[in-house]
């Protein structure tokens, strides 16, 4: 009995210690710091209760970062999931008639996923440059007035959302493609025999419900990426102009690593962590029940 | 609205591969036809051509005399039961059975959830559909399972749901793709009877596609034997069994594979068979006291009702004999003489075609 117990400890021990030391402990420290006014390098800290949280939700700046992130996610999640599905269904349907063309397109759509976003941001910055950029060049050629993609307070968040969608469509497409290949062909035959004449009605009768588990997974992954938006903000706009593109993770970085306000940054982290956790739990509880047919 | 469905000189090619090679087959009104063949012979493709899930490369498809070669599966209104049942896993049993009616009677807008609350016409349609589902589910003993999902049902129950879904809409013909192959022996026998009973009650033309000759023999009015994309023989089960048109059909049909004696050896059993090879079913090959074909008993396998002897004849020819009853069983290694009733012999010429044996 004792021997078995020791074996268990020896087997589980190293991983458990690593987990506690590198994950649980730091998380615990962050949770504690969130209630202090600790600054990096300071030798002491004061307990300030929920002041950090009040700051985040009470100040214009904190609220701006939260609403910006929500708006960004509200654009990026449905658009990139929808486009990913559209592209996947399209490529799947031509994969039998035009296999090479379909494979080439798959690779192209997947490129942004494989590319480093920070490096890609430079290209996007050039494309979106107000006077030299290709986008405005085209806009003028087509008779539109040039757009201040990254320097106008009212457009900058949408410009970043376009890049966010561009970056995640390929990944979502690959996931949906995998889901599509696992749908048995006989279900489509059955739908056709049963009278689903149009591709549209077969999509709603077979494809959409059979993709349920895939869609749930894609939603969770895309939501997690969208809420964590950081690279494009940090490299292209630094939250500007006038905090119009300030997001939660960028604010967290700025407060923690530029202003060294570790307590406040920890509070942002805690809020962000709890929000993502809540979102995932809700998605799992509500949607999971509807997508697994057992 | 029952009627006949026919393929006329139909060929189907996939690239350079010819899956179905110039076949003609008609399902007459109220008839039960079995399409029998080994896997890969093109019988599933033939079924899909009947159903309208594949388009023919050459030839015509006729439904009640009308040309439906270009018509889609749903325009032909042919019911099809899939080997895998192909039930919609996200829908309940009741919704599965109702789906063909919903897709036919209601438009895409009328199918939207809650549409029956807004329109009285949709409401009465929905009620009709519910009635039809109820009637069908009672007939197939599914009324207790209507709220379950297919994943919660046994194989046999799933099959009854698939039957109900296929039959709920008064089809012009009913095609069954290997309906018994996923069932255990007990359920198989029951399902055979059930399908026969449904055929008699509904009177639709039935086409049963199967690789199992005993399913075809026991259920069908007519059997079409298919080999390498061609239909090699069409006839009643008795005709197929008693007068197989080719040596291939002869060895394919029958619970025990028919013995084939090549031309030389055949004459030792029956003198007037010059140039013909002889086929004898193992049940007909018996041990005689004199004047038969000499053979050595290799193995004796006891199967309960019957005993199977594996024998070695002249030129190391392997023969099988099935003996009923328990008396007079030879021992392994024993020399015996084999004989057969003349009426039980099948003659085949060098091309494998059936040839009459001179009496």
Q: What order do you get walking across the sheet with B345-348 strand by strand?
A: B259-261, B277-280, B345-348, B354-355
B78 part of contact set with chain A, CB < 8 Å = yes
User: Which residues of A fall within a CB distance of 8 Å from B150?
Assistant: 293
Low-confidence ranges of chain B (pLDDT < 70): 1-3, 272-273, 326-327, 358-359
Interface of B with A in 139-158 (CB under 8 A): 149-152
Interface of B with A in 46-65 (CB under 8 A): 48, 51, 53
pLDDT given at position B235: 93
The 8 Å CB, 24+ separation contacts for A109-113 are A109/A169, A109/A170, A109/A173, A110/A170, A110/A171, A110/A173, A110/A174, A111/A170, A112/A166, A112/A167, A112/A169, A112/A170, A113/A167, A113/A168, A113/A170, A113/A171, A113/A174
pLDDT given at position B1: 39
Q: Which secondary structure element, helix H or strand E, spans residue B111, and what is its range?
A: none
Ranges in chain B annotated CATH 3.40.50.300: 5-243
Best probe of the B interface among A193, A216, A289, A294, by most B CBs < 10 A, is A193
User: Which residues of A fall within a CB distance of 8 Å from B72?
Assistant: 192, 197
Three-state secondary structure string covering B131-163: HHHHHHHHHCCCCCCCCCCHHHCCHHHHHHHHH
Q: Is B333 within 8 Å of B297 (Cβ atoms)?
A: yes
Q: How many CB atoms lie within 10 A of CB A155?
A: 16
Q: What order do you get walking across the sheet with B222-227 strand by strand?
A: B78-81, B173-177, B206-210, B32-36, B222-227, B230-235
CA distance A172 to chain B (A): 23
User: Residue B53 and residue A195: Cβ atoms within 8 Å?
Assistant: no
- Nearest-by-Cβ selection for B104 from A195, A205, A294: A195
In the block, residue with structure tokens 């942002």: A268
> Which has the closest alpha carbon to B352: B227, B178, B238, B203?
B227
Q: How many CB atoms lie within 10 A of CB A62?
A: 23
User: Residue A209 and residue B82: Cβ atoms within 8 Å?
Assistant: no
Q: Using CA atoms in the order A269, A274, A276, A279, what is the torsion angle rounded to 10 degrees? A: -160
DSSP at B330: P
Beta bridge partners of B206: B32, B174
**Chain centroid to CA A129: how far?**
25
| Residue A186: closest C-alpha in chain B | B86
User: Residue A189 and residue B53: Cβ atoms within 8 Å?
Assistant: yes
Beta bridge partners of B26: B6
Which of helix, strand or coil describes residue B259? strand
pLDDT given at position B272: 66
User: Which residues of B fall within a CB distance of 8 Å from A197?
Assistant: 72, 74-75
User: Which residues of B fall within a CB distance of 8 Å from A287?
Assistant: none
pLDDT given at position A293: 63
| Residue B76: closest C-alpha in chain A | A193
B108 part of contact set with chain A, CB < 8 Å = yes
User: Residue A186 and residue B151: Cβ atoms within 8 Å?
Assistant: no
Mean per-residue pLDDT, A193-209: 88
| Residue A292: closest C-alpha in chain B | B90
- Nearest-by-Cβ selection for B90 from A186, A195, A209: A209
What pLDDT band is residue A294 in, cutting at 50, 70 and 90? low
Q: How many CB atoms lie within 10 A of CB A126?
A: 12
**Domains by residue range for chain A, with CATH:** 59-260 (1.10.3720.10)
In the block, residue with structure tokens 């039998």: A96
The 8 Å CB, 24+ separation contacts for B253-256 are B253/B36, B253/B213, B253/B217, B253/B225, B254/B213, B254/B281, B255/B213, B255/B214, B256/B281, B256/B282, B256/B283, B256/B308, B256/B320, B256/B322
**Chain centroid to CA B318: how far?**
29
CATH code linked to domain B5-243: 3.40.50.300
User: Residue A293 and residue B53: Cβ atoms within 8 Å?
Assistant: no
B179 part of contact set with chain A, CB < 8 Å = no
ipTM summary value: 0.81
Ranges in chain B annotated CATH 2.40.50.140: 255-355
User: Residue B99 and residue A194: Cβ atoms within 8 Å?
Assistant: yes
Q: Is B219 within 8 Å of B208 (Cβ atoms)?
A: yes
Residues B9-51 have pLDDT tens digits of: 999 998 889 888 999 998 888 899 999 998 888 898 999 999 8
B163 part of contact set with chain A, CB < 8 Å = no
CATH code linked to domain B255-355: 2.40.50.140
CA distance A286 to chain B (A): 16
B81 part of contact set with chain A, CB < 8 Å = no
pLDDT given at position B2: 45
Terminal C-alpha separation, chain A: 40
Residues A94-149 have pLDDT tens digits of: 888 888 888 888 888 888 888 887 888 888 888 888 778 888 888 888 878 777 77
| Residue B80: closest C-alpha in chain A | A193
Higher pLDDT, A283 or B354: B354
Mean pLDDT rounded to a whole number for chain A: 86
Which residues 6+ apart lie within 8 Å of B327 measured at CB? none
Q: Give the whole-angstrom CA distance, residue A72 versus residue A69.
A: 5
């Amino acid at each position: 009995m004792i021997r078995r117990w020791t074996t268990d400890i020896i087997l589980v021990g190293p991983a458990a210690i690593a987990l506690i030391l590198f994950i649980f402990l730091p998380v615990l420290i962050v949770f504690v710091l969130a209630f202090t006014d600790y600054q990096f390098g300071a030798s002491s800290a004061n307990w300030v209760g929920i002041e950090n949280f009040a700051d985040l939700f009470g100040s214009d700046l904190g609220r701006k970062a939260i609403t910006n992130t929500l708006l960004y996610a509200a654009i990026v999640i449905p658009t990139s999931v929808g486009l990913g599905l559209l592209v996947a269904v399209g490529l799947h349907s031509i994969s039998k008639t035009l296999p090479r063309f379909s494979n080439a397109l798959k690779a192209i759509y997947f490129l942004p996923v494989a590319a480093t976003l920070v490096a890609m941001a430079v290209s996007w910055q050039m494309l979106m440059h107000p006077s030299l950029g290709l986008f405005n060049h085209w806009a003028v050629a087509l008779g539109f007035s040039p757009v201040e993609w990254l320097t106008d307070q009212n457009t900058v968040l949408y410009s970043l959302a376009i890049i966010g969608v561009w970056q995640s469509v390929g990944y979502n497409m690959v996931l949906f493609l995998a889901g599509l290949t696992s749908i048995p062909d006989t279900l489509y035959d059955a739908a056709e025999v049963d009278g689903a004449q149009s591709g549209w009605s077969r999509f709603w009768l077979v494809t959409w419900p059979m993709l349920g588990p895939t869609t749930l997974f894609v939603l969770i992954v895309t939501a997690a990426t969208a809420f964590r938006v950081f690279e494009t903000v940090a490299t292209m706009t630094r939250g500007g102009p006038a905090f119009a593109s300030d997001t939660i993770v960028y604010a967290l970085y700025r407060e923690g690593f530029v202003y060294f306000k570790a307590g406040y940054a920890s509070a942002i982290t805690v809020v962000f962590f709890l929000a993502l956790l809540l979102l995932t739990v809700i998605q799992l509880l509500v949607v999971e029940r509807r997508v697994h047919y057992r | 609205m029952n009627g006949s469905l026919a393929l006329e000189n139909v060929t189907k090619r996939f690239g350079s591969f010819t899956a179905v090679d110039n076949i003609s087959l008609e399902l007459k009104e109220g008839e039960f036809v079995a399409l029998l063949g080994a896997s890969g012979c093109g019988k599933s493709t033939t079924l899909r051509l009947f159903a309208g899930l594949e388009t023919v490369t050459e030839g015509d498809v006729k439904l009640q005399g009308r040309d439906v070669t270009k018509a889609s599966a749903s325009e032909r209104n042919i019911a099809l039961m899939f080997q895998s049942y192909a039930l919609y896993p996200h829908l309940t049993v009741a919704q599965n059975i109702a789906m063909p009616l919903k897709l036919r009677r209601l438009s895409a807008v009328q199918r939207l959830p809650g549409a029956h609350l807004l329109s009285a016409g949709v409401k009465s349609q929905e009620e009709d559909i519910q009635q039809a589902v109820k009637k069908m589910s009672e007939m197939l003993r599914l009324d207790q399972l209507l709220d379950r999902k297919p994943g919660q049902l046994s194989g046999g129950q799933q099959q009854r749901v698939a039957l109900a879904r296929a039959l709920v809409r008064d089809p012009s013909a009913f095609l069954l793709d290997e309906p018994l192959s996923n069932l255990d022996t007990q359920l198989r026998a029951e399902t055979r009877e059930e399908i026969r009973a449904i055929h008699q009650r509904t009177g639709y033309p039935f086409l049963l596609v199967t690789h199992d000759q005993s399913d075809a023999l026991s259920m069908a009015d007519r059997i079409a034997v298919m080999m390498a994309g061609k239909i090699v023989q069409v006839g009643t089960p008795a005709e197929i069994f008693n007068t197989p048109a080719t040596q291939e059909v002869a060895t394919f049909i029958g619970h025990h594979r028919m013995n084939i004696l090549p031309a030389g050896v055949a004459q030792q059993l029956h003198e007037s068979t010059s140039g013909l090879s002889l086929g004898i079913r193992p049940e007909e090959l018996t041990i005689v006291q004199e004047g038969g074909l000499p053979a050595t008993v290799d193995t004796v396998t006891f199967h309960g009702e019957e005993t199977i002897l594996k024998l070695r004849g002249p030129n190391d020819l392997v023969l099988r004999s099935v003996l009923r009853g328990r008396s007079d069983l030879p021992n392994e290694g024993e020399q015996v003489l084999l004989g057969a009733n003349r009426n039980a012999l099948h003659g085949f010429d060098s091309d494998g075609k059936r040839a009459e044996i001179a009496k």
